Amino acid sequence: MKITTSISELSLGSVAIVVGYSRIYGGYMGKLISRGLIPGTPFVLLNLAQVQGTVQIMLQDKILTLSKPEANALCIETPTEDERNM
């Protein structure tokens, strides 16, 4: 898996997996966990609204809109082509 430092580095439609939380934005950890964003959770990037400062992602069963600080609090990885085909 490729470690990505920010959701903003993903292109729309990209799949990523939550692997942890940034210490810098640690105050958001509880909120992210309560919304279902626990380590191992895959998601798809739907929208990256730079102007409004929001990020829209799709989990398996729901669509979430995250604020920029919430999105920045996520440590994510992108699966390689081989891992996607497993």
CATH 2.60.40.1180 fits 2-81, yes or no: no
**Residue 16 contacts residue 24 (beta carbons within 8 Å):** no
pLDDT score, position 35: 95
Predicted TM-score (pTM) of this structure: 0.84
pLDDT score, position 83: 57
Where do the structural domains in the chain lie, given as residue ranges? 2-81
pLDDT score, position 79: 86
- What are the tens digits of pLDDT across the range 38-55? 999 999 999 988 778 899
* Cβ-based neighbour number of residue 43 at 10 Å: 22
The segments of the chain whose pLDDT lies below 70 read 1-5, 81-86
